[in-house]
Amino acid sequence: MKVTKPNWVEHAAGEKQTKSPIYSINVHPDGTRLATGGQDNKVKIWSTLPILDPQAEEDAANPRLLCTMSAHTGPVLTVRWAHHGRYLASGSDDSVILIWDIDPAGGGRVFGSEEVNVENWKALRRLVGHEADVVDCAWSRDDAMLASVGLDSKFIIWDGYTFERIRTIDAHQGFVKGVTWDPVGNYLATQSDDKTVRIWNAEDWKCVETVSKPFEMSPQSTFFRRLSWSPDGAFIAASNAMNGPVFVAAVIEREGWTSEISFVGHENTIQVTAFNPRLFFSEGVPQDRIHASCMLALGADDFSISVWRNTHHKPIVVVRDVFARQLLDLCWANDGLTLYGCSADGTVCAMQFRPDEFPELAAADMTDKILEDYKYNPPHRRKAPQKPLSVTTSFTAAPAGAQEHVNVIIPRKAPKKAPRRIGLSGMMGGAAAATNGSASASGGRAPLARPALTPQRGTAADAFAFAADQPLSDSPVAAATARMFERGAFDRDSALKRKASEDDFGRGAPKGRTMGRESRNLGPVQEIRAPRVAISASTGSGHLLPVPSIQSVLRVQQDEGQGVFTAENSTDGGNTTIALAVNGKESWVDFIPSPALAIVANTCMCAVASEDGMIRVFSPAGRHISSFKLPYPASELAAGREFLMVVTVDCMVRVIDTRKGSVPIPPSSIAHLFDPPSSSAKVAPVADLKAIMVRPNGCPVVITSEPAAWAYDQDVAAWTQIATPWWGTSPLSESRTRGRSSQASGPLAEIEQRIASAADVDQPDKKPQWWDEAMSMGHYETRLRAARLLDSKDEYKHWLREYSKYLAQEDFRERAEELIGDLMGPLYHLGSKPAWNPITMGVPKRDFAAIALGVMKASPALGGFAGDQLQILKRIQHEEAKWV
């Protein structure tokens, strides 16, 4: 075995361009490319040749970094190649999934960087549906579906051909942090912070089993719970399990979904599991499902990797002291001999095993034969795009002595056919064909025609040659790599063929009474031009937010609904078309005179902000609710039920109640939230706006790149900090690993998770006296105030119980008395102008007082006080009942 750790594989962030965490890693099915996702918001693709071959690494003719993709606006948390190898899916902190496809005509220097893209991968689809970080995603074995999970506690199933949303399931009670497909095709498994693994039937999406026993004591400190399904379909290896006080990986058996077996040995939480895609058979035994065995790799927060066989009670190998921080992702190459891992320390490693070290490794086609024993035929869920053209790739070994051509793809043109283009059809919807005359985004010649993919059954040397109407530019992956194919160093599982239906596309529908029609093909999304808005620097705020560029198409999924709201800006300066489509048919269409900058939609409204500063609000049926012009154009829009939040480029925030036609809070500036802290000894950069949201109670929330989250408090008419890295030094941020405090689920938890993932907080070297106590109480009190502002009753109750428990355990009597006094109020209060408001979040405060007193009553220190206060509370409520 050989362990390689290339120091040039990195994601750099910050002014000093220091190494930042690499959250995800995945190797291409043919073994030639390695995709990584990092905290720098980028997806990078690396050649594996210089990683695996020291001689190739020293040869300058072999490029290391093949492509850098910068379309995400948040850290990239997951990257996964489709099994056919054409598409790469990436999920991010920005709540978006991007589907990447190679552009054979691309390449060149990365804008604003010294990096050069040898290959050019472009975003083919933008999948919007999650409301928080997309933590993990997985392709089904036949690539017919893509599953994604996130910190919104949901998982979404997308069509693997058209990338339409098939199903959204919100059944977990906590963040969903891992997903894996049954290779047979019958099931999907998800793992969540609610301490369960759930098995879902892939036909009707019903939960067939909930496994919780191995996770009852599991900590919630890990960012991921990456689980893996064995290649023979017999087992699921689930991370973050506990066997008493021992950290283990739980094994869930397909037969009966029992979980009595576990892998034991790591000294800290196991964060990721990864099965080797190849099966193993002992010498002399029949090669059938009963005698097949599997290999599993585990990555843990003790910074080590272990490799196991399910027929051995000890690991085959344990690799320590390779990483300085926790393991975040693992992946095997399809050859079954190479394992890659990435860490929060910003580095990756490759573990190469020799064939003689794995003498029982089976051929790749044995996996297909074993899976056929299940005799499961998945139903035809979705139809393929119309008339997909065959795409194959030829890696041809260079002739002897042709050293100047090392690491070059030799493309092969397909037979001449009418050129067709697959365009980026926006955030949702099917694969739309663009016309031959469409211009490229750069304003030059039209982009190369690129056919849809039909995966072919073939050898490992089959991959990307494209049918095009002109020759391709050379794009490297080595001839030396081709020789590695010949030696059998890599294998690739071929996907199943798909057939196209002539009836899937092009059908029209008569215009209905709702102005509806079949949803139109809007062509590729491209930037038309920069905004033509003159913004004066003397806005009074001292800070300006960017004006969105004019895009050809804007498209958003309707929150909590099935509709898709679009705005199509004219490329020739004409009117802008806006429309709401439900179930593939337009419900209504309207037109506005100015280009759209931003749009938002939910079941209560559709809103569009245009370049001329106008905000137009429509009902779900298309009725004009209101339209108004602001002094400056909008930079961001957000919606929460009937409330519309608008952030203009001069940093002013407005919240409009579209149902009542009123303003619940006065316009407020957030420019001061971007100012660097004056108390800092270092020169801090000016913060930027990362995200906005408006709660169903009308409370606006902004998240800045500091990072910090702020909510507007109407009681004090100011922005209140509700989440900040400062509380990362609180003992509560570590207490979850010791089981002292459980994690709540809700909007505050999602915001805190986002802030924590974007910040690197160092604990103080020397804590002053009472540090832990002061920080704990301050953290609890901040969470209570934040939950109240966000109108998150469940989180408020949760943290009230935890705070009360802490006060009782530590015997902080004075704080406990103040807390109960605020919640219980005076014995009597006048209803006309009460000095004490008896209601919070629509709930009587005394109901919350009863919850806190019930917790304190169980403690020896405050039990007497709590008992007396409960008696008083009962008398107050009894007296008030007599007056009702």
- Beta-carbon contacts of 179 under 8 Å, excluding residues fewer than 6 positions away, are 136, 137, 138, 147, 148, 149, 155, 188, 189, 190, 191, 227
Band (pLDDT 50/70/90 cuts) for residue 14 is low
pLDDT at position 102: 87
Stronger pLDDT, 725 or 606, i.e. the higher one: 606
pLDDT digits (tens, 9 = 90+) for 807-855: 999 999 999 999 999 998 876 544 444 567 888 998 999 999 999 999 9
CA dihedral angle for residue 125, residue 129, residue 135, residue 140, rounded to 10 degrees: -60
> What would the two tokens of residue 550 be?
């004019």
Per the CB < 8 A criterion, the answer to whether 700 and 692 are in contact is yes
Mean pLDDT confidence for 434-461: 31
- Beta-carbon contacts of 1 under 8 Å, excluding residues fewer than 6 positions away, are 317, 351, 352, 353, 354, 357
Mean pLDDT confidence for 389-397: 31
pLDDT digits (tens, 9 = 90+) for 353-373: 999 999 999 999 899 889 888
Q: Is the pLDDT of residue 502 over 50?
A: no
Compute CA 703 distance to the chain's CA centroid, rounded to the nearest angstrom.
17
Expressed as residue numbers, the domain containing 571 is 526-706
Burial of 216 (0-12, 13-18, 19+ CB in 10 A): exposed
Lowest mean pLDDT among 24-28, 102-106, 358-362, 572-576: 102-106
Any idea which residue has 């996964």 for tokens?
80
Q: Is the pLDDT of residue 412 over 70?
A: no
What's the rounded Cα separation, in Å, for the pair 386 and 17? 46
pLDDT at position 84: 92
- Beta-carbon contacts of 450 under 8 Å, excluding residues fewer than 6 positions away, are 101, 103, 104, 421, 422, 466, 468
What letter would DSSP give residue 232?
Answer: T
What letter would DSSP give residue 719?
Answer: E
DSSP line for 273-333: EEE-SS-B--TTS--STTT-B-EEEEEETTS-EEEEETT-SS-SEEE-SS-SS-EEEEEE-
Closest by CA to 2, choosing from 343, 298, 357, is 357
Distances (CA, A) of 446 to 387, 569, 573: 22, 19, 20
Mean pLDDT confidence for 93-97: 93
Lowest mean pLDDT among 297-301, 318-322, 796-800: 318-322
pLDDT at position 180: 96
pLDDT digits (tens, 9 = 90+) for 149-204: 999 999 999 999 899 999 999 999 889 999 999 999 999 999 999 999 999 999 99
Determine, yes or no, domain membership for 82.
no
How many domains does the chain contain in total? 1
Determine, yes or no, domain membership for 73.
no
Using alpha carbons only, give the angle 338, 341, 342 rounded to the nearest 5 degrees: 155
Per the CB < 8 A criterion, the answer to whether 390 and 414 are in contact is yes
User: Which residues on neighbouring strands pair with residue 349, listed in sequence order?
Assistant: 341
Determine, yes or no, domain membership for 119.
no
Burial call 513-540: b when 16+ CB within 10 Å, e when fewer: eeebbebbbbbbbbebeebeeebeeebe
Band (pLDDT 50/70/90 cuts) for residue 503 is very low
For residue 551, give the CATH number of its domain.
2.130.10.10
> What would the two tokens of residue 722 be?
């509700």
Band (pLDDT 50/70/90 cuts) for residue 675 is confident
What's the rounded Cα separation, in Å, for the pair 458 and 395? 13
Determine, yes or no, domain membership for 318.
no
Mean pLDDT confidence for 512-533: 63
Determine, yes or no, domain membership for 660.
yes
- Beta-carbon contacts of 60 under 8 Å, excluding residues fewer than 6 positions away, are none
- Beta-carbon contacts of 448 under 8 Å, excluding residues fewer than 6 positions away, are 103, 104, 105, 466, 468, 469, 470, 472
Per the CB < 8 A criterion, the answer to whether 104 and 448 are in contact is yes
Determine, yes or no, domain membership for 658.
yes
Determine, yes or no, domain membership for 531.
yes
Percentage of residues of the chain with pLDDT beyond 70: 76
Determine, yes or no, domain membership for 394.
no
pLDDT at position 743: 67
pTM score:
0.49
Q: Is the pLDDT of residue 517 over 70?
A: no
- Beta-carbon contacts of 247 under 8 Å, excluding residues fewer than 6 positions away, are 241, 266, 267, 268, 269, 270, 300
Q: Is the pLDDT of residue 467 over 80?
A: no
